[in-house]
Amino acid sequence: MGKVGKLLHTRYRVNDLERTVKFYRDVLGLEEVRRHKSPRGSELVFLKAPGGDAQIEITYFPGSGSVQVQPDLTHLAFEVESLEVFASHLAQFGIRFSDGPTTSSSGTTFAFIDAPEGYEIELIQKGGGY
């Protein structure tokens, strides 16, 4: 009692809904779960990673003005089997790591890419390095 349950979704507001959905779907491999228009006129698309429950809500609401993401404000983190293999996949889209790869003292390796609007995506490879 008095505490929340599981995380359901995180919302990111964007300037170009279709460009952003295409990025999350085609580049990251997320699945579009549902799409609808809210009563106030926002266009909403919910996506989720394979094997995960939490969703990302991508929202376009022109009445709120242009989205301007501050550097290093927020990011989403996804696990990848191999950063080296994923880097080759990204290259097909003309995308390169914006930071990293960096290996921590625990042996986990991580790198970042930039999503549309400037939101950061962290890619994490567990274990033995890059």
Residue 86 Cα distances to 10, 40, 92, 122, 126, angstroms: 24, 38, 10, 12, 14
Residue 72 pLDDT > 90: no
What is the pLDDT, as a whole number, of residue 37? 95
Q: Say yes or no: do domains 1-64 and 68-130 share a fold.
A: yes
Task: State pLDDT tens for residues 8-23.
Answer: 899 999 999 999 999 9
Q: 68-130 domain in CATH 3.10.180.10? A: yes
What are the DSSP calls for 44-74, one per residue?
EEEEE-TT---EEEEEE-GGG----PPTTS-
pTM of the model: 0.88
Separation between Cα atoms, residue 54 and residue 34, nearest integer Å = 13
The single-letter DSSP state of residue 81 is S
The residue with tokens 């919910």 is 46
Spell out the domain ranges in the chain: 1-64, 68-130
Q: What is the mean pLDDT of residues 98-122?
A: 93
Q: What percent of the chain has pLDDT over 90?
A: 72
Query: Which residues have a catalytic role annotated?
Result: 122
Enumerate residues 6+ apart whose C-beta is below 8 A from 41: 61, 63
The CATH class, in words, for 1-64 is alpha beta
What is the pLDDT, as a whole number, of residue 127? 77
Task: State pLDDT tens for residues 35-62.
Answer: 999 998 899 999 999 988 899 999 999 8
**Other CB atoms within 10 A of residue 55 CB:** 20
Separation between Cα atoms, residue 13 and residue 62, nearest integer Å = 10
What is the pLDDT, as a whole number, of residue 128? 58
